Amino acid sequence: MSTVVGDVRPSQLLWTFGPGALIDLPNISVLTMGTDKWDPSRCKPLQEARLLAEVQSVLGDQVKRLLKPPVVEDDKVDPFSAEAKIGVPVYPFPRWLRCVRCGLLGSYDSGLFKLKGADNPHRRDQIHFIHENCKHRGNSDAVAARFLVACRNGHLDDFPWHWYVHGGPSTCTGTLRFFERGASLQTENLWVKCEGCGKGRSLVNAFGENAEKYLPRCRGRNPHLDSYEECTENCRTVLLGASNGWFPIQRSVLAIPLQGDTLSQIIDDGWGSLNMITQAEQVELVVNVLKSTNALPGIERFTNDEIWAGIEKKRSGNNRANVHFSDLKSPEWEVLTKPDAPADLPHFLSEKTDVPQRYSSVVEEVLLLKRLREVNALIGFTRVEAPEETLDPDERAPMAALSNGQPDWVPANEVHGEGIFIKFNESVLAQWENLVPVKEREELLVAGYKGWRDARKLDPEKGFPGVRFAMLHTLSHLLIREMALECGYNAASIRERIYSTNDTLAMAGILLYTAAADSDGTLGGLVELGKKENLENILSKALERATICSSDPLCFEHDPAKDRSLHSAACHACSFVGETSCEIGNRFLDRSLLVKTFGSEDAAFFKDF
């Protein structure tokens, strides 16, 4: 019988607690199972042709659907009903538990511990494990052992307690106890001891460069798939709840119009469902379902005959979306910079506004996006190393699978919001890039980047995004911070999208947008900030605030080559933003590329302002 053990938001199943990730609840720890164990009939379809094509390019053409995570629609549902148990399956993990009183270490499968409170759906917070025969007091609470092992290939396993204590394979079956020595909880004061043979070892040896001497090779365990596979990597100790235990690999697109007319665009968006229609008589049935679930907004504007004609046009090949597999931003740039950008579509409503007069020589265009939609799909995950450790997919840690076998669907989520798009003057930016002081600042970032790559045994000559990206990225962060101060927005709900290339398709732009699952940022506040007088004021304040950092001179004197970092004159006090806002993890930032600082005056893009 299934038991509900807790709640997470649907978006968290893509960003934080997806398949293979640990959920550390108040009294127990569980692991989200693979998508092959989910019930797709409880998941609503999500239409986005461009994102589906990108997912197929990575996982294969057998992927046919993007599905939202299952969710209980009614908050007042009867907790004893079947509907109350709609959700994703989880598995208690780690399997090793520790008694909080006597320190007994043992596996859940040993029978030493029992689960209590699962029969009360009204008090999920009371679900916990107990050690019934604790020598200090019966029915003592038992908690998850907070040490696990993982490897670069995405495997996760219980910490090898017996191996670790005995220094390798052993026939000793003595009881293990976990205890603390000393006043602090540093690893050298955490010990595990075998009561059978008397051997003990501090946990300090489980971390660091010498840890592989005390840990076995990875067993290739995939607990979310209930499977094992061959693996030659060394195990690394990770802590329960640590950020390096699970990194999502996602694909994200903005729902932009790729077709010339509204109906063609709507048919493209909903082709996953409309493709099933083979006769005109079937149109009404399918469209009624789409209307009732609001799965394809805008379809209600057209008659069944018009929809059937559009479907036949799509099938004939006269209505084919221009989908880029390798670059998701180029199509977005082309739409955002069109002289006649689409004005009113179900997921896209834009309006051009005047450029701030003071910055008219460098800002070429400002577009107010009064309505937009961002769609994200989860395609895999990594452990130990984050996917953004390198921009080159060939150098990243191997992507762990979300399911057994080849998936025919992946979890996806959509968020609605608004935004401001700022396009910069390409000729002015190109001249600035060629200035000697700018190239000198770029060399500082390159030196840090090469050291950072060398430390990770990666090719130091590959992947640097360029000084243009660093300048635009820093400005984006300054604007996010200023907007949060100016109008009271939650800074974490404002995201960035940087358009930066200087090759065949030259791009130089910033999209700042709110895309949140709740109502924060969807009421027109950000669009209002994009209007001429407001944007000029925000730009001026952001640049003025960036000239001096409260951490100066340490901030502007920072040399990335010395500590192998990926930023120069930037820190938490002046330029960093939350990880939900930044698309590349607060990397490639330097405010000296924007304004005059004490460390550099001639490299500033806005030095004349």
pLDDT for res 323? 45
**Residue 455 lies inside a defined structural domain of this protein:** no
Distance CA 6, CA 23 (A): 9
Q: Are 203 and 184 in contact (CB under 8 A)?
A: no
Report DSSP state, residue 68: P
**Lookup: tokens for 469:** 């990206």
Q: Are 580 and 413 in contact (CB under 8 A)?
A: no
**pLDDT surpasses 80 at 273:** no
Q: Are 586 and 473 in contact (CB under 8 A)?
A: no
Boundaries of domain holding 33 = 12-48+65-245
pLDDT classification of 149: cutoffs 50, 70, 90: very high
**pLDDT surpasses 50 at 413:** yes
Q: Are 134 and 99 in contact (CB under 8 A)?
A: yes
Task: State the DSSP string of 184-247.
Answer: S--GGGEEEEETTT--EEEGGGGSSGGGGGTSPBP--EETTTTEE----PBPEEEETT-GGG-E
**pLDDT surpasses 70 at 331:** yes
Distance CA 99, CA 113 (A): 9
- For 70-127, how does the pLDDT look when each residue is reduced to its tens digit (9 = 90+)? 887 666 666 656 666 678 999 899 999 999 888 889 888 888 888 888 777 667 777 8
Mark 83-103 as b/e (b = at least 16 C-beta within 10 Å): eeebbbebeebbbbbbbeebb
pLDDT for res 73? 65
Least confident of 131-140, 182-191, 195-204, 510-519: 510-519
**Residue 607 lies inside a defined structural domain of this protein:** no
Alpha-carbon distance values, 512 to 2, 155, 173, 308 (Å):
43, 36, 59, 38
Alpha-carbon distance values, 588 to 390, 442, 474, 501, 513 (Å):
13, 10, 8, 15, 21
Nearest CA to 472 among 501, 493, 446, 435?
501
**Residue 274 lies inside a defined structural domain of this protein:** no
Centroid of chain to Cα 301:
35
Least confident of 13-17, 120-124, 439-443, 550-554: 120-124
Mean pLDDT of 200-222: 88
Distance CA 186, CA 100 (A): 18
Contacts of 582 (CB under 8 A, 6+ apart): 477, 496, 576
Q: Are 147 and 176 in contact (CB under 8 A)?
A: no
**pLDDT surpasses 90 at 284:** no
pLDDT for res 21? 94
Distance CA 449, CA 389 (A): 11
pLDDT for res 276? 79
pLDDT for res 441? 94
Q: What is the β-pairing status of strands 363-382 and 409-424?
A: antiparallel
pLDDT for res 267? 78
**pLDDT surpasses 80 at 269:** no
pLDDT for res 307? 82
Q: Which of 77-81, 375-379, 413-417 has the highest mean pLDDT?
A: 375-379
Q: What is the β-pairing status of strands 227-228 and 236-239?
A: unpaired
Nearest CA to 146 among 101, 183, 178?
178
**Residue 143 lies inside a defined structural domain of this protein:** yes
Q: Which amino acid is at 147?
A: F
Q: Are 482 and 544 in contact (CB under 8 A)?
A: no
Q: Are 30 and 22 in contact (CB under 8 A)?
A: yes
- Residue 119: CB atoms within 10 Å: 9
Alpha-carbon distance values, 337 to 24, 165, 333, 364 (Å):
45, 63, 6, 10
Helices (H), 129-199: 161-166
pLDDT for res 476? 96
Least confident of 173-187, 368-382, 582-596: 173-187
Report DSSP state, residue 595: S
Nearest CA to 113 among 28, 178, 194?
28
**Residue 126 lies inside a defined structural domain of this protein:** yes
pLDDT for res 10? 83
**pLDDT surpasses 60 at 556:** yes
Distance CA 67, CA 318 (A): 28
Mean pLDDT of 193-221: 88
State how many domains the chain has. 1
**pLDDT surpasses 90 at 45:** no
Distance CA 146, CA 132 (A): 21
Mean pLDDT of 317-339: 67
**Residue 57 lies inside a defined structural domain of this protein:** no
Burial degree of 213 (CB within 10 A; 0-12, 13-18, 19+): exposed
Beta strand residue intervals within 345-493, DSSP E: 349-353, 363-382, 409-424
Least confident of 30-34, 219-223, 367-371, 546-550: 367-371
pLDDT classification of 320: cutoffs 50, 70, 90: very low
Mean pLDDT of 213-232: 92
pLDDT classification of 321: cutoffs 50, 70, 90: very low
- Residue 316: CB atoms within 10 Å: 9
pLDDT for res 521? 44
Distance CA 29, CA 45 (A): 30
Mark 15-43 as b/e (b = at least 16 C-beta within 10 Å): bebbbbbbbebebbbbbbbbbbbbeeebb
pLDDT classification of 605: cutoffs 50, 70, 90: very high
- Residue 312: CB atoms within 10 Å: 13
Contacts of 290 (CB under 8 A, 6+ apart): 270, 273, 296, 299
Q: Which has more pLDDT, 389 or 555?
A: 555
pLDDT for res 430? 93
Distance CA 249, CA 453 (A): 20
- For 349-368, how does the pLDDT look when each residue is reduced to its tens digit (9 = 90+)? 888 999 999 999 999 999 99
pLDDT for res 395? 63
Q: Are 114 and 122 in contact (CB under 8 A)?
A: no
- For 450-489, how does the pLDDT look when each residue is reduced to its tens digit (9 = 90+)? 998 888 777 888 888 999 999 999 999 999 999 888 776 6
Q: Are 113 and 129 in contact (CB under 8 A)?
A: yes
Mean pLDDT of 128-142: 84
pLDDT for res 322? 43
**Residue 179 lies inside a defined structural domain of this protein:** yes
- For 483-533, how does the pLDDT look when each residue is reduced to its tens digit (9 = 90+)? 888 776 677 888 999 999 887 788 999 999 986 554 444 555 788 888 988
Q: Are 268 and 259 in contact (CB under 8 A)?
A: yes
**pLDDT surpasses 90 at 569:** yes
**Residue 600 lies inside a defined structural domain of this protein:** no
pLDDT classification of 324: cutoffs 50, 70, 90: very low
Handedness of CA 211, 214, 220, 226 (dihedral sign): negative
Distance CA 392, CA 394 (A): 5
Coil vs helix vs strand at 284? helix
**pLDDT surpasses 70 at 393:** no
Contacts of 102 (CB under 8 A, 6+ apart): 131, 134, 135, 136, 140, 177
Distance CA 135, CA 354 (A): 76
pLDDT for res 326? 47
pLDDT for res 357? 92
